[in-house]
Amino acid sequence: MAPIRPQPVAHLELHTADGAGARAFYSELLGWRSQRIEAAERSYLALDLGEGPSGGIVECGTGRALWIPYVSVPEVNPVTERAEELGASVLLGPREGPAGWRSVVRAPDGGEIAFWQPKSAVSLEELYAEPSAKR
């Protein structure tokens, strides 16, 4: 088997039961700006983390807040299958969204990680940029 190139983290996503509290905390502490995105009858809070990966906050019924890294991969399906072969549990099978495909797995150690395959060369930062910033 050929050596595997390191795959970059493209996005960090916080899953929390208190989206407003998390937004206020990270904004005040780190200067992370947020923008509410409405798409497909759902709402998402995109975060500007500065240089590096993009970010976001998902408000959900989780009992404990959790940061999930999204790793950019060439193809979501084979990476998800390989993770399962290596002992991971698939929490969210590969599925298509407006900007690409994603999946989420729980590694044998309990850590959760997501895989991201964009539909085009457009980055998540460009996708969520304000219209005036897309020139």
Residue 20 lies in a domain: yes
Q: What's the gap between Cα 85 and its chain centre? A: 23
Q: What is the pLDDT of residues 51-82, one digit of tens each?
A: 889 999 999 988 999 999 999 999 999 999 99
Distance of CA 123 to CAs 8, 33, 53, 104, Å? 12, 18, 9, 19
Range of the domain at 21: 9-133
Residue 3 lies in a domain: no
Distance of CA 54 to CAs 32, 45, 63, 110, 129, Å? 11, 11, 24, 24, 10
3-state SS class at 13: strand
Residue 76 lies in a domain: yes
Q: Report the run of H or E that residue 127 belongs to, with start and end.
A: helix 124-127
Residue 35 lies in a domain: yes
pLDDT, averaged across the chain: 87
Residue 120 lies in a domain: yes
Residue 2 lies in a domain: no
Residue 1 lies in a domain: no
As a whole number of angstroms, the distance between CA 56 and CA 130 comes to 15
As a whole number of angstroms, the distance between CA 106 and CA 14 comes to 16
**Rounded to two decimals, what is the model's pTM?**
0.80
- Among residues of the chain, what percentage have pLDDT more than 90? 67
Q: What is the pLDDT of residues 106-119, one digit of tens each?
A: 999 999 999 999 99
As a whole number of angstroms, the distance between CA 81 and CA 85 comes to 6
- CATH code of 92's domain: 3.10.180.10
Q: How many domains does the chain have?
A: 1
Residue 70 lies in a domain: yes
